[in-house]
Structures are given as structure tokens and as C-alpha cells.
């Protein structure tokens, strides 16, 4: 984080500065500088860090203040006075609001230097992959800050923004939401120069209350953009396409359709990635050997290329950076290294109907003599009233794709198993297990050389750990 005095942090967050048990008059600590990394996880705090104590659903961050100080915290931001602390504390009304205010001010100050460019990315699927691709391109040109993992909510996004330094040239902000208004909140913090919308689908539809609420929320990315900004939109998604009428920004389209400004043609998907021709609005084009497994990830590559083009990156640099990426992210279409003839694709960090279908289509595309395709599937969470119908639809689709063996794990995915069984043309195509351990016991003996295995579920189902176990088994 940039240098701030204790008094500045107190003013920005609307808090009261406290040393020991006594409030400190404003102005007495203007020479005390804090500039460490900010976090809500005491385990991530290091020397000079700033710990934000956030009450949570299952625990209270205030209980971990001593651990944060032991790990090196120089300042605590909290919602109540904590007695006998060895470091200053700033007491605020709401720690999440304080975090947002601090992030907003840090971004504003660095922007005032005239160098920082901000990219905001949202969508029902592909945010993390696109963020990683944009970061890979931009960090070659200058200091770039982007979130780790999927830090894209009201806490994770500002924590990422607070990693900015005075010389940062690019901020890549992944912006997720579980309800309307959350993306607007993040957009107001970061003020993107480039706002990206990838897709609008059923991911988190249960939380939003339907696809129309999801559309309304994702549209928040572009409604506050200025006329000098750029909205990078997916022309292949009709819901995203409609956002062009909702923004004052200029629009740059990406996709496979002929009307796209940044377009992919001549796609060839294989078990090692996808090759395609990337075309820019300048008329330039170049072949790309994209090593991220799954044809659907080409759309993420196009979005990243559109962002880079907007920021003045030459085509050759864009292509070179894209070709350097071999996996989307940990547990996202991650091909695990094995030596015993079994290929494990671990894609069990997130799952929506769209991403589940994309993963299964990728599995279906992998064919050849001696190859048996195996799907190990768990629940797609946060679908609410759509859950039964969507699991049923995916179960029937699997059989139609010709995937030879299906293992379904967990009660939340039982409807998928039943649908596959009803749709199947032979007995035993799909097997159901209550737990991952039960499935593993059979998979140990059933998987054989030549099998290609996709492990896919929402994070909450925990199948990513099963995927890792299988990777170790056949390593």
C-alpha cells in the first residue's frame, strides 16, 4: 500500500484512532507512516501489515487480532476497542465499509499521478481466467496488480486494490457479486478505464433470484463508465450485447461472430489446447497456439486481447503472452501431470450450467483409439429453484455427448445421475456415490491407461481434492 499516516487512515475510514485504552486526538500522529499489506486473514499478515478485523458468518475477526499482531501487524482496524493492544487501532462503524473507503482513496491518489490504468472484469463465467490472461499480458509492460485466486467480492476486491504502489501502472480488478448493487460498489471504488463483461448465465442465479436479476447486476459494470472509457463486450452473448445501449463508453466487441472487433476464426480444439487466428480492428491477424484446455477459453483469450489492444499493446506481444499460458488457474481445466496413461483434468473449483456444459463438451472432443472418456461430477451450487432442472438437463446432455462413464457424487447432484440413467442406452453408464471417498475406492481400480477423466463440480462439493488424489494416484 502507499504511504499513509495513522491520522489519514482514520480520516479516510471515518474511524477513531486509539492507542492503548485512550482515544488519541487527531493530528498527533501525522508523522507515523503505515504502508504494509492489508488483509482480513491474520495468517496472511506480515511485518508492518494492517489487519482488518471483520465479523463473519461463522467467526469474528476480532478474535484473531492477537495472532495478527504476533505475525507482525502494525495497525488494527476494528469495530470495537480492544484493550491492551501493543499497536494502534482505528475503531470504525463497519470494517467492510472502512476497507472500501481506504481502497477508494488509495486508487484515487495513484490515479492522480496520471499513470494507472484500471481494468474491471465481470461475467457469470471466465472472470478468473480472463483476469489471469490480462495480467500476463500487462505485467510485461509495467507493474501490475491483480487479485490472487478469485478475490472478487466486497472484501477481496478492495484488498487487491490496496496492494497498489505509487509506481503501479495497471490494476486488474475481478468483480463478482451475489446480489444487485455489489458490482456498482466495486466500480465506484476502482473507476475502471476498461470494463469487461464476459457472459450472463445461471451462475449464482439462486442468489440473484433469476437470470434477469443477474443481467441487471452484470450491467452495473458498464452503466457508470465515462465517455472516455471503453466497454469490452461479448458480441456472442445476446444479453451482454444489449448492454451497449446502457453505457456512455465506447464499445469494443469480442467474439466469434463476424461483427466482432476482436475475433477468433479457424478454431481447432485438441487435447493440448486450441489453435485459432486472432484478428484485431486494425486489420492485423496472427495465429495463436493457446495452451489452455477447452475451446470455451478462447472467448476469455479474446476478451484479454481486446483489453490489451485498448491499452495499446501490439498484436505480437498479445499473442506471445497468450501462448505462454498453459492453464487457466489452479483447479480450472488443470491437466495434472501423470505417467501411467490416465489423463486427469481437474476443473472442480467452480461449476455453473454453462461451465459444466463447456467442460463436458471439451471432454467429448477428446477422442481417439483406446480413449475412454470419464466424467466425475458433483453439485452445481447456488442455483436455487433452477437446481433440479439444470442438473437434469446436464445429466441428459452427458449421455448425448457420448461420454462413456459417469461418476456422480453427493446428494446435491443426484438429479444429474437420475437424468443420465434415464437417458442412457445401456445399464451402468452412470454410478452414484454419497461421498468422494466411496467414489475413490472404485476409481482406484476402474480407471485404466487411455482414460481421460474430467472432475467437475462447484467449490463447495470439494471434488477438487478428489481430482488431486487421482492425480497423485497416477503420477
**DSSP letter string, 99-134:** HHHHHHHHHHHHHTTT--EEEEEE-SS-HHHHHHHH
Q: What is the reported pTM?
A: 0.87
Q: What SS3 class is residue 153?
A: coil
Position 204 scores a pLDDT of: 58
Note whether 177 and 217 are within 8 A (CB).
yes
Alpha helices in 115-199 (DSSP H): 127-138, 156-161, 182-190
Position 82 scores a pLDDT of: 92
Band of the pLDDT at 121, cuts 50, 70, 90? very high
Position 110 scores a pLDDT of: 96
Position 29 scores a pLDDT of: 60
Position 168 scores a pLDDT of: 97
- The fold adopted by the segment(s) 334-473 is 3.90.190
Residue 27: is its pLDDT beyond 80?
no
Kindly report the average pLDDT of the chain as a whole number.
92
Rounded CA gap, 397 and 392, in Å?
A: 9
CATH for 98-323? 3.40.1190.10
Q: All 3 cell numbers of residue 270? A: 485438441
Residue 175: is its pLDDT beyond 50?
yes
Position 206 scores a pLDDT of: 59
- Give the tens place of pLDDT for each residue, 189-235: 999 999 999 999 876 565 666 788 889 999 999 999 999 999 999 99
Alpha helices in 259-384 (DSSP H): 297-310, 315-323, 353-365
Measured CA to CA in angstroms, residue 115 lies from 68, 107, 108, 169, 399 at distances of 33, 11, 12, 6, 53
Q: Which residue carries 496472511 as its cell? A: 44
- Give the tens place of pLDDT for each residue, 347-403: 998 888 999 999 999 999 887 777 899 999 999 998 888 899 999 999 999 999 989
Measured CA to CA in angstroms, residue 210 lies from 203, 233, 330 at distances of 10, 21, 29
Percentage of the chain lying above the pLDDT 70 cut: 95
Note whether 176 and 150 are within 8 A (CB).
yes
Q: All 3 cell numbers of residue 380? A: 452445481
Q: Which residue carries 469495530 as its cell? A: 79
- Return the number of other C-beta atoms located less than 10 Å from residue 417's C-beta: 22
Note whether 292 and 333 are within 8 A (CB).
yes
Angle between helices 353-365 and 387-400 (to 10 degrees): 10
Residue 28: is its pLDDT beyond 60?
no
Residue 453: is its pLDDT beyond 80?
yes
Position 210 scores a pLDDT of: 77
- Return the number of other C-beta atoms located less than 10 Å from residue 110's C-beta: 22
Position 366 scores a pLDDT of: 81
Rounded CA gap, 49 and 69, in Å?
A: 9
Rounded CA gap, 210 and 200, in Å?
A: 11
Angle between helices 297-310 and 127-138 (to 10 degrees): 40
Position 348 scores a pLDDT of: 92
- Give the tens place of pLDDT for each residue, 262-285: 999 999 988 889 999 999 999 999
Sign of the Cα torsion 88, 94, 98, 99 reads positive
Residue 32: is its pLDDT beyond 80?
no
CATH for 4-93? 3.40.1390.10
Same fold: 4-93 with 98-323: no
Rounded CA gap, 241 and 221, in Å?
A: 13
β-pair type (334-336, 343-347): antiparallel
Q: Which of 22-31, 101-110, 314-323 has the lowest mean pLDDT?
A: 22-31
Residue ranges of the annotated binding site for ATP are: 123-129
Residue 25: is its pLDDT beyond 50?
no
Nearest to 379 by CA among 391, 367, 396, 364: 391
Measured CA to CA in angstroms, residue 49 lies from 84, 136, 158 at distances of 19, 27, 15
Taking the alpha carbons at both ends of the chain, their separation in whole angstroms is 41
Q: Which of 92-101, 143-152, 412-421 has the lowest mean pLDDT?
A: 143-152
Domain ranges of the chain: 4-93, 98-323, 334-473
User: Does residue 462 come out as left (phi exceeding 0), alpha (psi in the -120 to 50 range) or beta?
Assistant: left
Q: Which of 88-92, 106-110, 171-175, 268-272 has the lowest mean pLDDT?
A: 268-272
Q: Which residue carries 456512455 as its cell? A: 248
**DSSP letter string, 368-435:** -TT-EEEEEE----S-GGGHHHHHHHHHHHHHHTT-SEEEEESGGGHHHHHHHHHH-SSTTSEEEESS
Residue ranges of the annotated binding site are: 123-129
Rounded CA gap, 433 and 409, in Å?
A: 5
Band of the pLDDT at 95, cuts 50, 70, 90? very high
Position 119 scores a pLDDT of: 98
Percent helix, strand, coil in the chain, to 5, is 40, 20, 40
Amino acid at each position: 500500500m502507499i504511504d499513509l499516516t495513522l491520522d489519514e487512515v482514520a480520516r479516510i475510514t471515518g474511524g477513531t484512532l486509539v492507542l492503548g485504552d485512550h482515544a488519541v486526538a487527531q493530528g498527533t500522529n501525522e508523522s507515523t507512516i503505515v504502508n504494509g499489506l492489508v488483509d482480513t486473514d491474520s495468517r496472511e499478515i506480515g511485518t508492518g501489515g494492517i489487519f482488518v478485523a471483520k465479523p463473519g458468518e461463522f467467526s469474528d475477526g476480532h478474535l484473531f487480532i492477537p495472532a495478527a499482531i504476533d505475525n507482525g501487524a502494525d495497525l488494527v482496524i476494528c469495530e470495537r476497542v480492544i484493550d491492551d493492544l501493543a499497536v494502534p487501532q482505528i475503531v470504525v462503524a463497519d470494517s467492510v465499509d472502512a476497507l472500501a473507503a481506504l481502497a477508494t482513496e488509495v486508487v484515487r491518489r495513484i490515479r492522480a499521478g496520471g499513470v494507472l490504468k484500471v481494468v474491471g472484469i465481470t461475467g457469470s463465467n471466465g472472470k478468473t481466467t480472463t483476469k489471469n490472461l490480462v495480467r500476463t499480458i500487462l505485467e510485461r509492460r509495467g507493474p501490475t496488480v491483480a487479485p490472487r485466486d478469485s478475490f472478487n467480492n466486497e472484501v477481496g476486491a478492495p484488498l487487491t486494490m490496496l496492494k497498489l504502489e505509487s509506481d503501479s501502472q495497471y490494476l486488474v480488478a475481478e468483480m463478482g457479486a451475489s446480489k444487485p448493487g455489489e458490482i456498482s460498489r466495486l466500480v465506484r471504488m476502482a473507476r475502471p478505464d476498461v470494463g469487461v463483461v464476459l457472459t450472463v448465465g445461471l451462475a449464482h442465479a439462486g442468489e440473484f433470484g433469476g437470470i434477469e436479476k443477474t443481467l441487471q447486476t452484470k450491467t452495473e459494470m458498464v452503466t457508470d463508465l465515462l465517455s472516455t472509457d471503453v466497454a469490452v463486450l461479448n458480441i456472442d452473448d445476446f444479453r451482454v450485447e444489449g448492454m451497449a445501449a446502457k453505457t456512455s463508453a465506447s464499445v469494443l466487441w469480442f467474439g466469434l461472430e463476424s461483427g466482432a472487433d476482436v475475433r477468433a476464426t479457424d478454431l481447432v480444439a485438441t487435447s493440448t489446447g486450441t489453435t485459432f487466428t486472432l484478428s484485431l480492428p486494425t486489420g492485423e491477424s496472427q495465429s495463436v497456439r493457446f495452451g489452455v484446455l477447452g475451446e470455451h477459453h478462447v472467448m476469455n483469450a479474446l476478451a484479454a486481447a481486446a483489453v490489451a489492444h485498448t491499452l495499446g499493446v501490439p498484436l505480437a506481444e498479445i499473442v506471445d503472452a497468450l501462448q505462454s499460458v498453459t492453464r487457466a488457474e489452479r483447479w480450472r481445466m488443470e491437466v495434472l501431470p501423470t505417467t501411467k496413461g490416465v489423463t486427469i483434468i481437474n476443473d472442480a473449483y467452480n461449476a455453473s450450467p454453462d461451465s459444466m456444459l463447456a467442460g463436458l463438451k471439451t471432454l467429448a472432443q477428446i477422442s481417439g483409439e483406446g480413449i475412454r472418456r470419464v466424467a466425475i461430477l458433483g453439485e452445481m451450487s447456488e442455483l436455487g429453484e433452477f437446481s433440479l432442472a439444470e442438473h437434469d438437463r446436464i445429466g441428459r446432455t452427458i449421455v448425448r455427448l457420448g461420454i462413456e462413464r459417469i461418476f456422480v457424487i453427493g446428494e446435491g447432484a443426484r438429479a444429474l445421475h437420475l437424468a443420465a440413467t434415464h437417458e442412457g442406452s445401456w445399464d451402468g453408464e452412470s454410478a452414484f456415490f454419497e461421498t468422494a471417498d466411496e467414489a475413490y475406492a472404485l476409481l482406484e481400480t476402474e480407471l485404466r491407461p487411455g482414460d481421460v477423466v474430467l472432475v467437475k463440480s462447484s467449490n463447495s462439493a470439494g471434488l477438487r481434492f478428489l481430482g488431486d488424489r487421482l492425480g497423485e494416484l497416477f503420477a
